[in-house]
Amino acid sequence: MNNLRLEVENEIAVLTISRPKALNALNSETLNELNEVLSDIEKRDDIKVVILTGDGEKAFVAGADIAEMVNFTAAEARAFGMRASEPFFKLMNMRQVTIAAVNGFALGGGCEISMACDIRIASDNARFGQPETGLGIIPGFGGTQRLARLVGMGRAKEMIFTCDAIKADEAYRIGLVNKVVPQAELMDTAKAMAAKIASKGSYANAIAKAAINNGYDMDIKNAVEMEANLFGITCSTNDKKEGMTAFLEKRAADLTDF
């Protein structure tokens, strides 16, 4: 891979987007590599949590690559958006939990890829924004949809119409990020949360993730029924037997994967 680094330790993958000369901007090559590596990770039993971050201390991802987009036709731009949506949906729907460790600018496609992850942890120097209308375009990697779902329509419209980048503490206040920490503590914090998640039933977490994602757009009655069905499935696993037996025997549970 030219623009990504993957390190796996203790069931946690750290996936680093690395195009330092363009502040880790997402070009087609990076999106293709991301799609491929996420397909591989999805199949790996030894990875329970994926942390996505950006190389360096200045930027998480400064957006989609403007140099690549500058001469796009309408058809090429559409294809570029669809190319991004494939790995973004993998982050959103893969069985592993995904955490964005946002270490600086998360603008345009950078804010959008962080929103495709399950959880966002930001360093105190992070900045979030959707500056696209200032370039004469709209967010094209899911920003008009995922931002409104995360922070509500009013705040999403304000960010998209004004192009204002917001600081990490404001992103926390409006619910765009889960936690803000000093930059030096970012990766340790993300890894500690990942380790805690990895220690739980990973099959149960995968099913919980699917239930939350799929139920979000359903009516509450069907969503709760879907949950009951999935709850039933998790009750037939070894993890459930071990988890509940361990509780009753007052010892730590040794959860495997199923």
Which residue numbers are catalytic? 112, 132
Question: Which residues, at least 6 apart from 188, have a Cβ–Cβ distance to it below 8 Å?
Answer: none
Between 72 and 231, CB nearer to ligand CAA: 72
Indicate which single residue of 31, 55, 103, 105 sits in contact with ligand CAA (rule: CB under 6 A). Answer: 105
Question: Which residues, at least 6 apart from 168, have a Cβ–Cβ distance to it below 8 Å?
Answer: 102, 122, 123, 124, 125, 126, 127, 128, 177, 180
Q: Is 54 in the site for ligand CAA (CB under 6 A)?
A: no
Q: Is 128 in the site for ligand CAA (CB under 6 A)?
A: no
Indicate which single residue of 8, 66, 148, 181 sits in contact with ligand CAA (rule: CB under 6 A). Answer: 66
The full 3-state SS of 145-196, as one line of letters, equals HHHHHHHCHHHHHHHHHHCCCEEHHHHHHCCCCCEEECHHHHHHHHHHHHHH
165-204 footprint of ligand CAA as x/- string (CB under 6 A): ----------------------------------------
Between 31 and 198, CB nearer to ligand CAA: 31
Q: Name the segment binding ligand CAA (CB under 6 A); options: 106-114, 166-174, 209-217, 224-232.
A: 106-114
Question: Which residues, at least 6 apart from 254, have a Cβ–Cβ distance to it below 8 Å?
Answer: 242, 246
Closest to 80 measured CA to CA, from 92, 91, 68: 68
Shortest CB 65 distance to ligand CAA, Å? 4
CB 166 within 8 A of CB 159: yes
Q: What angle do CA 214, 83, 205 make, to 5 degrees?
A: 30
Q: Name the segment binding ligand CAA (CB under 6 A); options: 8-16, 102-110, 202-210, 223-231.
A: 102-110
Between 63 and 201, CB nearer to ligand CAA: 63
Which residues face 9 on adjacent strands? 12
Taking CB under 6 A as the criterion, which residues in 9-28 touch ligand CAA?
22-23, 25
Q: Is 141 in the site for ligand CAA (CB under 6 A)?
A: yes
Q: Which residues are near ligand CAA by CB under 6 A?
A: 22-23, 25, 62-67, 105, 107-109, 112, 131-132, 135, 139-141, 143
